[in-house]
Amino acid sequence: MKLSSTSMVFSWPRLAALLIKEFIQMRRDRITFAMMLGVPLMQLVLFGYAINNDPRGLPAALVALSNDHYTRAMVTALETTDYYRFGHVVESAAEAERLMASGAVSFVVTIPSDFARRVDRGDNPQILIEADATDPAVASGAISTLSTVASEALLREQGRQQVADEEARSRLEVIVHRRYNPELISQFNIVPGLLGVILQLTMVMMTSIALTRETERGTMENLLAMPASPLEIMLGKVLPYLVVGAVQVVVVLAASKLLFSVPFVGSLLLLLSAILVFVLALVLLGYTISTIARTQMQALQLTVFFFLPSILLSGFMFPYRGMPGWAQLLGELLPLTHFLRVIRAVMLKGAGLQSIAPEIVWLVGFVVFFAAIALARFRRTLD
């Protein structure tokens, strides 16, 4: 059929009609319209306010075997820098080790019992700082300022101007132990975290799109006609992706060891158990998204909307402790945040179940929460 000559001429009324039609369709697709406004706004807020490559207020533990005025002066000076926040004062190195292994503190500062005596004698006083170097970006800035700040505080507390040789004799010696990643190799921090990122992207996206595709193609009616309960249908759609996730886990863990030489000092069984809970939470999240989205495009958009804050607020790309309090609170509501703590603690620190138990509880809570929402939103009949 040939077009008439009049239809080939540009027409402003026809263009206006088409534009009106597109705007009406855009208004009806509320999810897409919300993503167009929500994603740029979320990026602006997160990058503008939440992201910080120079973290301050890092949690630290103080093992003060000497409670003298020199010790108090140094601790006050360190807190004044805003890099350290001494929220834990412990009496033994074992308790400090437990806090660091669980991720409760990033630094442990140990001041020996003879510290004041050595200061008064000008006998090269020493303090020990142990840093959790699993994330090199967190440790580097705070460590670089410690020696200078502590030395200046000690000299100021002595209350006299010292000549060069006397100052050299009594200068504070700071011994730094970088724990778990002494060479500050960034791959040791990034590669384990990539497992969580890859699993989240693929599991949530594949699960949400798969079920939404059933609705788009009209095959959902066949599922609804089957003599199966909502739980059985959900498990039937979810369990195959657990197998896909298992394959990804094997590939990433093997690559981390063979290609990047990432150490693995913890329990493999404990790690695999945590991964299973994490993957189950992800596929249930994807199933929940599929009950909200009406098209595959909407499912993809909702997946991206959830994926973006997970990358930025979980501690994968930027130091978690460097974010403001409200951003850390949002990060706690993301499964990836807790999984990153688990995998880094088990692989790099050799942490046991007791150390990561709070994070496992969070992941189990996500499983229960997403399963409850998915079952509640499941419809036995199509609209």
Could you tell me the pTM of the whole model? 0.79
Q: Which domains does the chain have, with CATH numbers?
A: 58-179 (3.40.1710.10), 187-377 (no CATH)
Amino acid identity of 345? A
What percent of the chain is predicted at pLDDT more than 90?
17
What tens digit of pLDDT does each residue of 183-195 get?
888 888 899 999 9
Q: What pLDDT score does 272 carry?
A: 93
Q: What pLDDT score does 161 carry?
A: 42
Amino acid identity of 206? M
Q: Which residues contact 287 (CB under 8 A, 6 or more apart)?
A: 207, 208, 211, 234, 237, 238, 370, 374
Q: How confident is the model at residue 164 (pLDDT cuts 50, 70, 90)?
A: very low
The answer to whether the beta carbons of residues 138 and 56 sit under 8 Å apart is no
Cβ burial 73-94 (10 Å sphere, 16+ → b, else e): bbbebbeeeebbbbebebeeee
Q: What pLDDT score does 147 carry?
A: 65
The highest-confidence range among 87-96, 202-211, 217-226, 267-276, by mean pLDDT, is 267-276
Q: What pLDDT score does 244 carry?
A: 84
Residue count of the chain, please give it.
Answer: 383
229: left (phi over 0), alpha (psi -120 to 50) or beta: beta
In the β-sheet with 126-132, what is the strand arrangement from edge to edge? Answer: 84-90, 58-64, 107-111, 126-132, 173-179
Amino acid identity of 302? L
Q: What pLDDT score does 281 carry?
A: 93
Across the chain, where does the E strand assignment appear? 58-64, 84-90, 107-111, 126-132, 173-179
Q: Which of 240, 248, 236, 235 is nearest to 202 (CA)?
A: 248
Q: How far apart, in whole angstroms, are the C-alpha atoms of residue 70 and residue 265?
A: 38
